[in-house]
């Protein structure tokens, strides 16, 4: 679960941002995106 390929993470990021859940603000917040994705998975 935590060991996801970079491709999967990027795909999820694109889907999330496309859905309006995440708004990309630079590559410096990549860690925050990962944390938010994990939180969303746990919430769901």
Alpha-carbon Rg of the chain, whole angstroms? 10
* Nearest-angstrom CA–CA distance, 5 and 21: 21
* Nearest-angstrom CA–CA distance, 40 and 43: 5
Model pLDDT, residue 8: 78
Model pLDDT, residue 11: 76
Question: Which of 8, 36, 40 lies closest to 24 in space, CA to CA?
Answer: 36
Where in the chain are the domains?
A: 6-43
Greater model confidence, 12 or 29: 12
Q: pLDDT-derived band of residue 7, with 50, 70 and 90 as boundaries?
A: confident
């Amino acid at each position: 679960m935590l060991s996801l390929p970079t491709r999967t993470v990027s795909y999820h990021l694109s889907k999330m941002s496309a859905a309006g859940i995440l708004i990309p603000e630079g590559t410096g917040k990549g860690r925050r995106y990962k944390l938010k994705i994990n939180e969303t998975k746990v919430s769901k």
